[in-house]
Structure 1
């Protein structure tokens, strides 16, 4: 469904772009006038991140691949023309030490610090509402660890659960290796005082929040690791 919308927007954007030739004849990126990229957590994990791990790129690059830890948050590449003031990036998770499972989240001027354990992202389709991904919230600190100053920059880091921690066979794609699912993340980065209102749960999310199914024992163990 999302692909159909993208294809439709692509064709409309191409048609409309002819009227903007006087403005910029050499523009390389396809412009989508009036389109704003505001995907839900479920869409980010179940569609965009899933396709990235599956190596099925979209015709339009809505989310760029960037090593976000090479940049301070205010120096990150500007959001796509179809986005807003928040940025969306695919990023490979580096390791803090060669034999460690802890990710390296240090940048030039500071570091990203997790605010808690991973939260499950559920599919709202069907009755089972499977856990299709994991979401971690991080805050950016300027300075070194232990002496850093908290800033208003925040990040939501999404990743796919590994096979052993999926709640049902429907959430596991045989073509996706656990290693690939663990390496790739999708990050939403924004400044808190600007973007907090945008992530207020909608009525559908609020109605299902109280009915979230319990996470099985293996998932709880995985989430509590805080990786």
Structure 2
């Protein structure tokens, strides 16, 4: 991840409306017109690359000097097509994907449609960050391949994932303890005495010697 230089003024809070994001910032960015403060308000970055949403979040939060997680981040990014000749967009990000949650909503200014707003959720069922990141994607009707995005952190989803993971760990511990208790509760095997013959009693060497002497006296 490349370092980006930011110098936001003290106490600066960036909170544009949907119409401002599309009709002003995105329009001027596409037209390559300079806008004061746009470099740190809406940096350009690939949101469909190899970095995870939380990696992007932590990196730019640190660069912006923001400690509040309830403050959204904004980015200019370019959409990627799955194939060079196709129209489907590749929504992968890191080891997960940006899963669309709606078909898009119109952005209207002075009774005129200027763009579209779509909502996405981070999907990765193998990660404890599953569902913990929300992205709103804003596009102009004339330029659908270049967009401005707003990313926010979903604390309720992340806390829910954390509780679920803790419950899974506790369940595994209970299973292990239960298995140990089952082994401890099994009765110990009883010692089996050696088998003895039920026919003739065993004759010892001393008894054989006495019997031999008695037979000798009889002659």
TM-score past 0.5 threshold: yes
Length-normalised TM-score, structure 1: 0.57
Match of 2:118 in 1: 136
Match of 1:190 in 2: 152
Indicate the RMSD between aligned Cα atoms, in angstroms: 2.6
Rounded to whole Å, the distance in 2 between the matches of 1:153 and 1:191 is 5
Q: How does 1:65-214 map to 2 (within 5 A)?
A: 65-70=44-49, 71-76=51-56, 77-79=59-61, 81=64, 85-123=71-109, 128-142=110-124, 150-162=130-142, 181-193=143-155
Structure 1 partner of 2:18: 41
Alignment correspondent of 1:64 = 43
Deviation, 1:30, is: 3.2
Deviations 1:23-63 (A, max 9, x none): xxxxx643311110011111111111111111113232121
Kindly tell me: are residues 154 and 29 of structure 1, through their superposed partners in 2, closer, same or farther at Cα, counting changes over 3 Å? closer
How far apart, in 2, do the equivalents of 1:86 and 1:33 lie?
17
Max Rg structure: 2
The answer to which of 149-158 and 96-105 deviates more is 149-158
The alpha carbon displacement at 1:82 in A equals: 8.1
Secondary structure at the counterpart of residue 132 of structure 2: strand
List gaps (5 residues or longer) in structure 1.
Answer: 1-27, 163-180, 195-227
Deviation at 1:151, TM superposition (A): 1.3
Detail structure 1 runs of 4+ shifted over 6 Å in the superposition.
none
SS of match in other structure, 1:69: coil
Q: TM-score, normalised by structure 2?
A: 0.59
State the Cα deviation string for residues 154-203 of structure 1 (Å, max 9, x = none): 100000013xxxxxxxxxxxxxxxxxx12210000111237xxxxxxxxx
Shift, 1:78, TM fit: 1.1
Query: Higher RCO, 1 or 2 (CA under 8 Å, sep at least 6)?
Result: 1
Change (3 A) 1:67 1:29: closer
After superposition, the Cα gap between the structure-2 partners of 1:53 and 1:82, relative to the gap in structure 1 and judged at 3 Å, is farther
Residue 96 of structure 1: how far off its partner (Å): 1.1
1:219 matched to which residue of 2?
none
Could you tell me whether the CA contact under 8 Å between 2:53 and 2:94 is conserved in 1?
Answer: no
Does the CA contact (< 8 Å) of 1:109 and 1:143 recur in 2?
A: no
